[in-house]
């Protein structure tokens, strides 16, 4: 039999580092050269680089092959289900990519071209506000966490305006790590509060924490257990009575799109993750986009610039305001993502938007129903677009959440989010989204069942998983211990497993 190292030969093979392909003189690219070259002796020699910039010297063919072959070591949404919980890995429509490509040659200071862009941004703002039941918005947040920070700064500013110096932000234990981190950067003190035994925050719990230092509650709804925060209206009332704000992390909006609106729940401020709910691709880590929406009383604090109407149907940017928190980005946020989002919203229309939450919830519950026979489900409360399993039953045979994830890779499926939320031990958090075909849901459920069976019959094989993947199980501890972060460090570190191939 052939060995594991053979497995990646066709069509994938271990790809050498660019630095290993580098050889002087191979790059013969002709660059645009419209101008006669000046001597540039006005620039001090001590500041000029006497050497060439230190970059690999490779041919175009090698560039193309290198990155193409690398791409093939990745799993994308066009491969199949990508059930990362709270990440909303839905299909990224090709038409939205195509349309966003049309803004590429525009400079934001080309005011004439920007007229059309601002009109589109205004329409997007209005649509997002309508969908969320909020009054106004800013589109400049570059990702969810950037939106959170912006939102918390808005709240801080509003408090300052009121002359209040509240510093506590309450955050349920199911929250994403960005929530407390964003609070800290905004100058708040995040305090973790327990979500109840039923998986949602109870009004009675929050009562215990409310005092005059509480600036806000930061909550995700539905939360990362996929459970709707059923007491949210009551909680909002308690907060408001206490002079505190309700901040909503909209990362899980997909569950309730067109079905329920954060604004109606009492949210004062919230952000969206357009790269989740609104089908913009994740790009292997970004760019995302994190618009922030507010109720009327927080409008003065929105970051700059503001898009304001001048004449009918024409907009300009307003750059000064003494109330605003200020500028949060040097350009226009992740503008191309905003274009994709409007194209997506218009493509769907009002009914299509509502269908998203319906089918996202339907699909998640299908898988949950199937898997509840083989896996431990820690909460009995009904869930919406995602749900959490644990490895409790498999642990009996020594098979862990990590093993289950790696086994899935071997079956050609991207694993769910694992070990999150922290409130569940060894969580496996599954979100299929509305764009998974029924056949694919079945395939996933079948494979999970197979894994559950294998965990009983042959638990010993899990340690070697994933079997069939471009690399075997990756040693993350080794990485952290050696910290090889560049080619150069790889070269100089004798211990490094840097094979030129």
Partner 1 sequence: MSFIPLSREERKEILDAIGVEDEDELFETIPPHLRYKESLNIQGPLDEETLRARFQFRPHKISFLGGGIYNHHIPAVVDAIASRQEFYTAYTPYQPEISQGTLQAIFEYQSMMASLTKMYASNASMYDGATALAEATLMAISAKGLKRVVITRATNPAYRKVINTYLQFNRSVEILEVPFNIISGQVDLDALNDMVDSDTALFIQQPNFFGIIEPLDKIAQTAAKAGFWGIVITEMVSLGLLKPPGAFGPDVVVGDAQSFGNPQNAGGPLLGVLCTTKASIRRMPGRIVGLTRDSSGKKAFCLTLATREQHIRRGKATSNICSNQGLCALRAAIYLSAVGPRGLKKIAAQCASGARYLMKLMKEKGIDVIFNGPVFNEFVVRMEDARIKALEEAGLVPGIRIENLYPEIPGGQLLTVTEMNTKKDVECMKERI
Ligand X SMILES: Cc1ncc(COP(=O)(O)O)c(C=O)c1O
Under the rule (CB under 8 A), what is the footprint of a second copy?
Answer: 1-2, 6-7, 9-13, 21, 26, 59-62, 64-65, 68-69, 72-73, 75, 78-80, 91, 93-94, 409-412, 435-437, 439, 466-470
Question: 122, 245, 251: which is closest to 178 by C-alpha?
Answer: 251
Stretch that binds ligand X, among 49-57, 67-75, 142-150, 468-476 (CB under 6 A): 142-150
CB of 55 to ligand X, least distance (A): 30
Interacting partner of 37 out of partner 1, ligand X, a second copy, none (Cβ under 5 to 8 A depending on kind)? partner 1
Edge-to-edge, what's the strand order for the sheet holding 136-138? 136-138, 292-294, 269-271, 245-249, 214-220, 168-172, 189-193
Is the CB of residue 295 less than 8 Å from the CB of residue 267? yes
- Sequence-distant (6+) residues with CB within 8 A of 91 are 77, 78, 279, 433, 435
Helix residue ranges, H only, 372-417: 392-395, 401-410
The Cα-based distances of 256 to 92, 235, 274, 304, 411 in angstroms read 19, 19, 15, 29, 31
Answer with the entry of a second copy, ligand X, partner 1, none that 180 interacts with (C-beta below 5 to 8 A by kind): partner 1
Residue number, 241 or 501, with CB nearest to partner 1: 501
Q: Could you say which of partner 1, ligand X, a second copy, none residue 249 binds, taking C-beta under 5 to 8 angstroms by partner kind?
A: ligand X
Q: Kindly state whether residue 368 participates in binding ligand X, applying the rule CB under 6 A.
A: no
* Cα dihedral: 295, 148, 328, 108 (round 10): -80
Question: Applying CB under 6 A, what is the total number of residues that bind ligand X?
Answer: 14
Report the residue number, 56 or 133, with the smaller CB distance to a second copy: 56
Adjacent-strand bridge partners of 191: 170
Site for ligand X, residues 169 to 198, rule: CB under 6 A: 176, 178
Closest contact distance (angstroms) between CB of 80 and a second copy is: 6
Task: Work out the widest C-alpha separation in the chain, in whole angstroms.
Answer: 76
- HSE-CB of 345 using CA atoms within 13 angstroms: 22
CB of 397 to partner 1, least distance (A): 20
Interacting partner of 459 out of ligand X, partner 1, a second copy, none (Cβ under 5 to 8 A depending on kind): none
What is the secondary structure of 330-365 as a DSSP string?
SSSSSHHHHHHHHHHHHHHHHHHHHHHHHHHHHHHH
Nearer to a second copy by Cβ, of 4 and 240: the residue is 4
Q: Burial, 254: exposed, middle or buried (Cβ in 10 Å; 0-12, 13-18, 19+)?
A: buried
Q: How many CB atoms lie within 10 A of CB 320?
A: 8
Choose between 286 and 382: whose C-beta lies nearer to ligand X: 286
Token duo for residue 263: 């604004």
Q: Which is nearer to a second copy, 237 or 449 (CB)?
A: 449
Which option in ligand X, partner 1, a second copy, none does residue 450 bind, with CB closer than 5 to 8 A by kind? none
CB of 456 to partner 1, least distance (A): 24
Instruction: Decide whether 249 or 403 has the Cβ nearer to ligand X.
Output: 249
- Is 220 a residue that touches ligand X (CB under 6 A)? yes
**Out of 249, 268, 386, 431, the residue judged to bind ligand X by CB under 6 A:** 249
Task: Catalog residues that contact ligand X under the rule CB under 6 A.
Answer: 86-87, 143-145, 176, 178, 220, 224, 249, 251, 273, 288, 290
């Amino acid at each position: 039999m052939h060995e594991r190292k053979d497995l990646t030969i066709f069509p994938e093979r271990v790809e050498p580092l660019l630095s290993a392909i580098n050889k002087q003189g191979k790059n013969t690219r002709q660059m645009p050269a419209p101008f006669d070259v000046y001597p540039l002796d006005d620039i001090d020699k001590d500041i000029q680089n006497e050497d060439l910039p230190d970059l690999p010297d490779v041919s175009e063919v090698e560039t193309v092959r290198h990155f193409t072959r690398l791409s093939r070591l990745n799993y994308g949404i066009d491969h199949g289900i990508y059930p990362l919980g709270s990440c909303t890995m839905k299909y990224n429509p090709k038409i939205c990519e195509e349309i966003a490509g049309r803004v590429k040659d525009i400079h934001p200071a080309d005011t004439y071209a920007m007229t059309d862009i601002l009109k589109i941004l205004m329409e997007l703002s209005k649509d997002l506000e309508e969908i969320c039941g909020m009054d106004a918005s800013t589109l400049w947040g570059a990702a969810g966490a950037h939106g959170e920070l912006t939102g918390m700064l808005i709240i801080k500013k509003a408090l300052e305006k009121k002359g209040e110096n509240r510093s506590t932000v309450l955050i349920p234990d199911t929250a994403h790590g960005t929530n407390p981190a964003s609070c800290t950067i905004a100058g708040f003190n995040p305090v973790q509060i327990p979500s109840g035994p039923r998986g949602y925050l109870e009004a009675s719990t929050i009562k215990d924490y409310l005092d005059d230092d509480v600036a806000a509650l930061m909550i995700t709804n539905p939360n990362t257990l996929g459970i709707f925060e059923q007491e949210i209206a009551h909680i909002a009332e308690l907060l408001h009575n206490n002079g505190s704000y309700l901040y909503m992390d909209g990362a899980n909006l997909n569950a309730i799109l067109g079905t329920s609106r954060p604004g109606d729940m009492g949210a004062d401020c919230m952000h969206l993750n357009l790269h989740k709910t609104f089908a913009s691709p994740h790009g292997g880590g970004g760019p995302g986009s994190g618009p922030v929406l507010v109720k009327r009383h927080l409008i003065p604090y929105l970051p700059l610039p503001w898009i304001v109407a001048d004449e009918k149907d024409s907009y300009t940017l307003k750059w000064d305001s003494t109330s605003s928190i200020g500028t949060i980005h040097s350009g226009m946020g992740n503008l191309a993502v905003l274009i994709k989002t409007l194209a997506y919203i218009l493509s769907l229309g009002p009914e299509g938007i509502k269908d998203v939450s319906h089918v996202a919830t339907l699909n998640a519950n299908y898988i949950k129903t199937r898997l509840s026979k083989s896996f431990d489900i820690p909460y009995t409360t009904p869930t919406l677009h995602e749900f959490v399993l644990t490895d409790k039953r498999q642990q009996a045979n020594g098979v862990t959440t990590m093993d289950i994830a790696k086994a899935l890779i071997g079956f050609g499926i991207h694993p769910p989010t694992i070990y999150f939320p922290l409130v569940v031990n060894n969580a496996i958090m599954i979100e299929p989204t509305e764009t998974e075909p029924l056949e694919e849901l079945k395939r996933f459920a079948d494979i999970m069942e197979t894994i559950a069976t294998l965990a009983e019959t042959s638990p010993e094989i899990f340690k070697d998983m994933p079997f069939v993947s471009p690399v075997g199980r990756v040693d993350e501890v080794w990485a952290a211990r050696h910290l090889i972060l560049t080619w150069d460090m790889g070269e100089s570190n004798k211990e490094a497993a840097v094979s030129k191939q």
